[in-house]
A and B are shown apart, each in its own frame.
Chain A
Amino acid sequence: MKKHVLRPLWVAIFLVGSILIARVFLVPDDFGVHGDSFTYNFYRLSNVQEWKDFPAKYTSEKRCRRCHDENAGLLRESKHAKLRCQNCHGPGAGHPKEIERLSINTTRDHCLRCHQRLAYPSSQRADLPGIDGAKHKKKKECRKCHNPHHPDLEDM
């Protein structure tokens, strides 16, 4: 058999070899199987820390109470006790150092999330007091009449 027959094989080996060498430079060192299974644990290890370092936007509700104890106390005694400060005031991480004032969502649509009356049998939604947003005081902000921190209807 003639030797030239192997030429394409050398080319193939060269190409495969190039890819294997390229791997050394292009593939991060911590890429591999980190766990029991090649199927589920094949990845770049440093990515886990990258995700752990992702910045949080919401802070703990306890932190709000430290300074805003008056509104927090009012809320706690009201029918809105279940609500979280950041439900209406937005993400609080970085407040007050980086963000001086938090925004407040005062739109009707925000209140209608819970208070659009939907009389759904078998859902707790039906237990929430509500109105028909299309009919009740249209276009008016809810907070003009209802104090969000103490919205109890008996007070009105």
Chain B
Amino acid sequence: MSADLVVHGAEWTVKELFVYPNEFIYWSIQIVMYPYMTGLVAGAFVLSSLYHVFGQKDLKEIAQFSLVFSLALLPVAAVPLLLHLQQPLRAMEPLLTPHFTSAIAAFGIVFSTYALIVLSEIWFVYRGYFVAQVHALRDQPGIGNSLRRSVYRGLTLGAYDVSDEALATDHKAAKILAAVGIPVACFLHGYAGFIFGSVKANALWMSPLMPVIFIMSAVVSGIALCMLTYIVIMEWQAFRNRRRGGAVQASEIRGAEADVVSKSARYLLGFLVAAISLEILDLIFRGYTAMKSWDILRSVMYGKDFMNIFVLQYTLGNLVPFILLILPGRTIKRTVLALLLVLFGVFMMRWNVVIGGQAFSLSFSGYMHYHIPIIPHSVETFKEGVFGALFVITLPFILFWGINKFVPSLGRDAGTG
């Protein structure tokens, strides 16, 4: 078959029993990655806002970090969509001719608003630092330094006043934006849930609970990722300090770290419980009301997807980390394991919704099995395969490394916020 005849979805779909001829798994791994990445963005931002808005002082360091990390995650959230679109060059159209009855169109506006809020908040938090850098780099020799200085000059947007009053205004503005950003972040992720929950044609997706479930699990994943990255970075800094013989500094870092982790974990647990409760509620309702679709849904959920849903997502991804985090004598190692399991659990939730919703045919008389392309042999099998997903997941770390060079957010170099 020539490349022209590549029917999107046919490559990785295996049909069983009766499936309508035009049905394939059209929304594959990138559509799993997309709500996952936007969830991380929203969650990271909420974590940061918990400090800025509710004044949780002990969250100060991780708040700084998670704010900047959410900025690194932001452009990455759009990448899965660009990889998925059959016409990626037309990607701007939802902003040019938004058809607002579609959740995806409204999302374009909400996402842009959210991006502006995050960028603005970072600006207010770091403006003092930018100005300080402009002054500090003034007499430094070398092309690298003058380039850096130009970047910082641009970043100040021409506002050089660093009087106490100005900085206090910055602080207040950041706080307002952090507060405003929370409902926008909820909207952002609620919309992702609405994209699925409003599709009446899909028996698994259609549910008014979908937006709320998505929000809860988004916050869970965001907090977990920020905690995890924070721990990794703190541990590495401690390790580096120990090697240089700064034993005192290492234990100082350790102490602060444990406190931050402990506080964040509490929030994580709360959202985790909320997320899993809603999902189980949804399942109970479906089983109780036993609509036309229940037979096939049950055979999918309790049959071929039992491992994915009950073992990987509910047990490994929710129950086990829950126990690991509430048991007394919590160590960093145990916390790291719990966080990794949580992140895995949230990923499985997205997977089970997106792929699970396409595991059965609209005919309710057949199944579709998803065989994710592993070794890419074409552009399409790269974009919608394992390597495409890996590309998306590594991108925020690369971006963060770059952004952190201008907007440092770790340890003692953090901005004034």
State the A residues within 8 Å of B (CB). 1-2, 4-5, 7-9, 11-12, 15, 19, 22-23, 26-27, 31, 38-39, 42
Q: Complex: how many Å from CA A15 to CA B161? A: 25
Q: How far is the CA of A4 from the CA of B92 in the complex (A)?
A: 31
A39 partner residues in chain B, CB cutoff 8 A: 101
Most buried by A among B95, B97, B123, B161: B97
Interchain nearest-CB distance for A13 vs B (Å) = 10
Q: Which of A7, A15, A22, A38 has the most CB of B within 10 A?
A: A7
Q: Which residue of B lies closest to A37 (CB)?
A: B101
CB A32 to nearest CB in B, in angstroms, measures: 9
The answer to whether B133 has its CB under 8 Å from any CB of chain A is no
Known A12-B116, A42-B97; further 11 A-B contacts with Cβ < 8 A: A4-B159, A5-B169, A5-B170, A7-B159, A8-B157, A12-B120, A15-B116, A22-B92, A31-B97, A38-B100, A42-B99
* Cα A70 to Cα B280 with chains together (Å): 72
Contact A26 to B92, CB < 8 A, known contacts A8-B116, A8-B123, A31-B97: yes
For A5, what are the chain B residues with a Cβ–Cβ distance below 8 Å?
Answer: 124, 169-170, 173
On whether the beta carbons of A2 and B166 are closer than 8 Å, the reply is yes
- Measured CB to CB, the closest approach of chain A to B132, in angstroms, equals 16
Are the C-beta atoms of B97 and A27 separated by less than 8 Å? yes
> B92: which A residues are within 8 A, CB to CB?
22, 26
Separation of A8 and B121 alpha carbons in the complex (Å): 9
10 contacts between A and B (CB under 8 A): A2-B169, A4-B127, A4-B157, A5-B170, A11-B116, A19-B96, A27-B97, A38-B99, A38-B101, A39-B101
B119 contacts partner chain A, Cβ-Cβ < 8 Å: yes
Interface residues on B, range: 20 to 34
Residues of A within 8 Å of B127, CB to CB, are 4
Main secondary structure on A side of the interface with B: helix
Most buried by A among B96, B100, B170: B96
- Are A27 and B169 touching (Cβ within 8 A)? no
Whether B413 sits at the interface, judged by CB under 8 Å, is no
B159: which A residues are within 8 A, CB to CB? 4, 7
Q: Which residue of B lies closest to A38 (CB)?
A: B101
Whether the pair B97, A4 counts as a contact (CB closer than 8 A) is no
Which residues of chain B are near A1, meaning CB under 8 Å?
Answer: 169
Whether the pair B157, A11 counts as a contact (CB closer than 8 A) is: yes
Enumerate B159-175 residues with CB–CB distance to A below 8 Å: 159, 161, 165-166, 169-170, 173
Chain B, interface SS category:
helix
Instruction: Verify if B328 is at the interface (C-beta below 8 Å from A).
Output: no
Q: Name B's A-contacting residues (CB within 8 A).
A: 92, 95-97, 99-101, 116, 119-120, 123-124, 127, 157-159, 161, 165-166, 169-170, 173
- A27 and B161 contacting across the interface, CB-CB below 8 Å: no
Instruction: Given A2-B165, A19-B95, A26-B96, verify A7-B157 contact (CB < 8 Å).
Output: yes
In the complex formed, the residue of B with least CB distance to A2 is B169
Residue of A nearest to B177 (CB): A8
Q: Which residue of B lies closest to A32 (CB)?
A: B97
With A1-B169, A12-B120 known as contacts, the answer to whether A7 contacts B158 (CB < 8 A) is: yes
Residues of B with C-beta under 8 A to A15: 116
B120 close to A8 (CB less than 8 A) = yes
Q: How far, in whole Å, are A1 and B166 apart by their CA atoms in the complex?
A: 8
- Residues on B with C-beta less than 8 A from A8 are 116, 119-120, 123-124, 157
Q: How far is the CA of A79 from the CA of B165 in the complex (A)?
A: 97
Measured CB to CB, the nearest residue on chain A to B166 is: A2
**A38 partner residues in chain B, CB cutoff 8 A:** 99-101
Structural contact, B157 and A22, CB atoms closer than 8 A: no
Tell me the smallest distance from the CB of B184 to a CB of chain A, in Å.
13
Minimum CB distance partner of B120 in chain A: A8
CA distance A8 to B166 in the complex (A): 15
Q: In the complex the two chains form, is A22's CB within 8 Å of B96's CB?
A: yes
* Chain A positions within 8 Å of B100 at CB level: 38
Within the complex, the shortest CB–CB distance from A153 to chain B, in Å, comes to 35
Q: Residue of A at shortest CB range from B121?
A: A8
A26 contacts across to B, CB distance below 8 A: 92, 96
Nearest residue, chain A, Cβ from B170: A5
Give A19's nearest chain B residue, CB to CB.
Answer: B95
- CB neighbours (8 Å) of B97 from chain A are 27, 31, 42
Task: Give Cα distance in the complex from A27 to B101, angstroms.
Answer: 19
Least Cβ distance of B219 to chain A in Å?
Answer: 25
Name B99's closest neighbour in chain A (CB-CB). A42
A8–B161 CA distance with the chains assembled, in angstroms: 15
On chain A, the residues within 8 Å of B158 by CB distance are: 7
Write out the residue numbers on chain A whose beta carbons fall within 8 Å of the beta carbon of B101.
38-39
Chain A positions within 8 Å of B173 at CB level:
5
A8 to B122 alpha-carbon distance, docked (Å): 10
Q: How far is the CB of B61 from chain A (nearest CB, A)?
A: 24
Contact B120 A4 (CB under 8 A): no
The 8 closest A-B pairs by CB, nearest first: A4-B159, A8-B120, A7-B157, A2-B169, A39-B101, A12-B116, A2-B166, A27-B96
Which of A5, A12, A19, A31 gathers the greatest number of chain B CB atoms within 10 Å? A5
Instruction: Give A38 to B95 CA distance when docked, in angstroms.
Output: 16
